[in-house]
Amino acid sequence: MNIDFYNPVKILSGKNCFRDFRDYAKFGKKAVIVCGKNSARLCGALSDAENGLREAGIGYTVFDRVEPNPFVSTCREGGREARRFGADFVIGIGGGSPLDAAKAVAAFAANPDFEPEDIYTKARVPALPFLAVNTTAGTGSEVTPYSIMTVPSIENKKSFAGDDLYAKLAFLDPSYTLSLPVGQTYSTAVDALCHAVEGYFMKKANPVSDALAEKCIPMICGGMRGVLAGDLGYENRERLLYASTLAGMVISRTGTGFVHSTGYMLTYYHGLSHGHANAYFLADFVEFMSRENPERAKKIFGLCGVKGSEELWELLGACPAMPLSSVITPEEASAYAARTITVKNVGNAVSVITEPELLDILRRRCI
């Protein structure tokens, strides 16, 4: 038995855990705050950061140009600004997009000569320290060593990883997620569910990642059912946020599978949100895994509170804000299946899907 596990992120959780934080000096004298255009302001986290930094005597600048599914070029630009400002550390505020961008900004700032795509190929000086402040409950980026960016030259999203990308501190204040609209609340929860479930069927899953997955899956599905019943209150937000972080710990050990790899195509070419894109494939992923791993699949269905893959499909597609309607042509389906099958992650699952099997799923669910 193997219980190897590494997740060196200090987590602070609960209402006002970030608003009241002042202990910045150990990370340096100057910070760059990385966020999107609106949400960091809207939810109050940006002004909490600015007040806290001012009171702690830390200089700061704000890079607020991170788009959803951030471009690698945007992150390099943020890295340059951080470098010009002389930032010692990076605070990412947002959903997975600003958090992943903040990791990349921290890496580009430490490697100022890098062209955007060098981040994927060249050895690097370790990234600046990075603190994460969540405003969505889904990606788990606050506890993973991955940063996923959009790379136009390969017409896809691509991740880079490293122990230097783990956040030094992750702040989980559910209040910041209260402003997230219902559709995004649901689709980010679906993303978290995908992390826990895909992670359960990866070769690197072990008793530690299994325990985390088994804990968080009922929390996420309970939270999703709550959202469907109109519960967007603090306690349900808290349940979804904490569960999504546990699911992030799962993938920090295991990585993700074909659900994510195929989902990236729907995001890149069709503009679907990350969680929504993944939602198309999760039920069939478990169904596929059930052929060779029936006991583990049965366990997953039980944890989700469903009888089988069709009920799971209904739960994933139940939210009116994220209709699972027709999105791609048959030609696109063939191209996406062919490309996905070559992705390394897909081969890291306990059962490896073939191109015709994946094409069958794409045809059934997306056309």
Where does this chain bind Zn ion (CB under 5 A)?
191
Question: Whose Cβ is closer to ligand NAP: residue 39's or residue 293's?
Answer: 39
Q: How many residues bind ligand NAP (CB under 6 A)?
A: 34
HEC-encoded secondary structure of 257-271: CHHHHHHHHHHHHHC
For 38, phi and psi rounded to 5 degrees? Answer: -120, -45
In the list 19, 29, 30, 37, the residue contacting ligand NAP (rule: CB under 6 A) is 37
Burial of 164: CB neighbours in 10 Å, binned 0-12, 13-18, 19+: middle
* Using rule CB under 6 A, residue 69 touches ligand NAP: yes
In the list 18, 27, 39, 189, the residue contacting ligand NAP (rule: CB under 6 A) is 39
Question: Whose Cβ is closer to Zn ion: residue 197's or residue 289's?
Answer: 197
In the list 33, 43, 104, 249, the residue contacting ligand NAP (rule: CB under 6 A) is 43
* Using rule CB under 6 A, residue 100 touches ligand NAP: yes
Closest contact distance (angstroms) between CB of 308 and ligand NAP is 26
Contact 126, 110 (CB under 8 A): yes
Contact 133, 91 (CB under 8 A): yes
Site for ligand NAP in 148-167 (CB under 6 A): 148, 157
Contact pattern for ligand NAP over residues 179 through 218, marking x by CB under 6 A: xx---x---x--x---------------------------
Closest contact distance (angstroms) between CB of 88 and ligand NAP is 23
In the list 111, 177, 245, 340, the residue contacting ligand NAP (rule: CB under 6 A) is 177
The packing angle between helices 182-200 and 258-270, to 10°, is: 150
Question: Nearest CA to 187 among 257, 250, 253, 266?
Answer: 266
Cα 52–chain centre separation:
26
- Residue 56: its H or E element: helix 45-56
Site for ligand NAP in 257-286 (CB under 6 A): 274-275
Q: Pick one of Zn ion, ligand NAP, none as the site partner of residue 141 (Cβ within 5 to 8 A by kind).
A: ligand NAP
Closest contact distance (angstroms) between CB of 2 and Zn ion is 25
Closest contact distance (angstroms) between CB of 144 and ligand NAP is 3
User: Could you give the C-alpha distances from 205 to 250, 289, 350, in angstroms and in order?
Assistant: 8, 14, 9
d(CA 145, CA 170): 13
d(CA 313, CA 159): 27
Q: Which runs of E-coded beta strand occur in 301-350?
A: none
Q: Which residue has the tokens 């992943």?
A: 100
In the list 14, 44, 68, 218, the residue contacting ligand NAP (rule: CB under 6 A) is 68
In the list 11, 12, 42, 350, the residue contacting ligand NAP (rule: CB under 6 A) is 42
Closest contact distance (angstroms) between CB of 1 and ligand NAP is 26
For 162, phi and psi rounded to 5 degrees? Answer: 170, 150
For 89, phi and psi rounded to 5 degrees? Answer: -150, 170
Closest contact distance (angstroms) between CB of 252 and ligand NAP is 7
The packing angle between helices 207-228 and 294-304, to 10°, is: 40
In the list 8, 25, 38, 55, the residue contacting ligand NAP (rule: CB under 6 A) is 38
Binding site for ligand NAP (CB under 6 A): 36-39, 42-43, 68-69, 94-98, 100, 135-136, 138-141, 144, 146-148, 157, 176-177, 179-180, 184, 188, 191, 274-275
